Amino acid sequence: MQKQLWFFLGTLTWMFVAFTGCSQVQTLPSQAVLTLTGHKDAITSIAFNPEGTLLASASMDTSVKIWEVSSGKEIRSFERRHQKWVNCVAFSPDGQILTSASGGAGTTVKLWAVDTGKLIHSLEDHKSPIASIAFSPDGKFLASGSFDKTVKIWNVQNGKLVRTLQGHENYVDAVAFNQEGLLVSGSWDKTIKFWDASTGGLLRTVEKLPGIIASLAFSPDGQLLASGTGNTENNIQLWEATTGKLLQTLSGHGNSVVSLAFSPDGQLLASSSGGQTNNIKLWEVGSGEIKSVLQGHRNFVSAVTFSSQGKFASGSHDGTIKIWE
C-alpha cells in the first residue's frame, strides 16, 4: 500500500511538471556558492521575489535586508523599523511589495514598496507577536498568524483588517495559501485548520497531531501540504490538501521542524530544525527518502526557501544566509 501511495504521489508530481511546462527537473543543491553577511544577529526568515533575482531576510537584529541574488550584494536595508526583532518576511506575488512582521514584544505587520523602500501600510491589530505571514495567490490579501491564537486577513491595497479567524487554542505558528486560495494555519494546539479565506469559514480541522505545528508549506501545484511538528515528535507530515488526509510521515529530524520549502517542480522538499544539527535535509517527495543533507552553517538553520527558478537559500542563527547550487 505504501509503495502504491508513493507511486501515486510521484505521478502527480510528474503530471504537474508536464502541465505547467516545467521540463527541467530540479537540480539537487550540493554546495554553498555565496554567503551573505551583514546582519548582526540570528536570521529568522528569508524569501525570494517571484523572479528569483532578489532575496529578503529578517533578523533578530530588528532589520530587514534585500539582497541581489546573483552577486550577494546588499541593495537595501530597513534598520530599526520594527520595535523588536523581525520574525518573517514575504514578497507579494507580483514582487512589488515586501511585508515584514514583528516578533518579541512587537505586534505589527509592515508593507514596503520594493523599488523605493517606502512604507506603504503598518497593520496593527494583533495582541501578541506575529509568527507567520502569507500572501493570497492574487496578492490582494495577506494572512498573519500570531501568538494571540488568531489568524488575521488584511486588504493589501488599503491596509484594512478584513476578518479575524478564531478557533485555535494556542499560538498560531504557521500560515500558508495554496494556488487556489485555500488557507491553512498550524498551531501549538497540535491542530491544522483549513479555511475558506473569502468567507472566513472553517472547512476542516486536523486534530491530535503528535506535536506542535511549527511550519507549513504547499507544493507548487497546491495538492500536497507539508507540516513540520516539534516538541514531542519532530517529524514532517504530508497531507492531501483537498481532503486533509495524511499520506506519509517523514522522520529524521531531532528537533522541531521549523522551516519547509518545496522545489518549483514539486519533487524535492527542504526542511530544517532547531537544536544542534545545523543542517538541511532534502527529501524526495515521490519516495519519502532523504536525498541529501547540506551542511555549512555554524548554528541551527531557521529558514529555507526555493526560488521559482530553482535557486535554493538558507538562513541561520549564525547570522548568515547561504545560496546553494
Q: Are 181 and 198 in contact (CB under 8 A)?
A: yes
Q: Are 162 and 153 in contact (CB under 8 A)?
A: yes
Please count the CA atoms within 13 angstroms of the CA of 66 that sit on its side-chain side. Answer: 21
pLDDT for 22: 44
pLDDT for 84: 75
Interacting residues of 18 by C-beta distance below 8 A, sequence separation 6+: none
C-alpha cell at 180: 487556489
pLDDT for 168: 98
Q: Are 2 and 286 in contact (CB under 8 A)?
A: no
pTM: 0.91
Q: Are 259 and 272 in contact (CB under 8 A)?
A: yes
> Could you give the CA distance from residue 74 to residue 34 in angstroms, rounded to a whole number?
13
Domain ranges, ordered by start, for the chain: 38-324
Q: What is the residue-level pLDDT of the chain in tens, covering all 325 positions? A: 433 444 344 444 434 333 344 445 678 998 999 999 999 999 999 999 999 999 999 999 999 999 999 999 999 998 766 767 899 999 999 999 999 998 877 789 999 999 999 999 999 999 999 999 999 999 999 999 999 999 999 999 999 999 999 999 999 999 999 999 999 999 999 999 999 999 999 999 999 998 999 999 999 999 999 999 988 789 999 999 999 999 999 999 989 999 999 999 999 999 999 877 799 999 999 999 999 999 999 999 999 999 999 999 999 999 999 999 9
> Could you give the CA distance from residue 280 to residue 277 in angstroms, rounded to a whole number?
9
Question: How many other C-beta atoms can be found within 10 angstroms of the C-beta atom of residue 2?
Answer: 9
pLDDT for 254: 87
Homologous superfamily of 38-324: YVTN repeat-like/Quinoprotein amine dehydrogenase (2.130.10.10)
> Could you give the CA distance from residue 285 to residue 238 in angstroms, rounded to a whole number?
9
Task: Compute the CA torsion angle 5, 26, 179, 210 (nearest 10 deg).
Answer: 50
Report which of 263, 315, 278 is spatially closest to residue 35, judged by C-alpha positions. 315
Interacting residues of 293 by C-beta distance below 8 A, sequence separation 6+: 279, 280, 281, 282
pLDDT for 24: 55
Pairing of strands 257-262, 151-155: unpaired
C-alpha cell at 319: 547570522
pLDDT for 114: 96
> What φ, ψ does residue 279 adopt, rounded to 5°?
-125, 175
> Could you give the CA distance from residue 38 to residue 125 in angstroms, rounded to a whole number?
31
Mean residue pLDDT across the chain: 91
> Could you give the CA distance from residue 170 to residue 151 in angstroms, rounded to a whole number?
12
Note the pLDDT tens digit of each residue in 274-316.
877 799 999 999 999 999 999 999 999 999 999 999 999 999 9
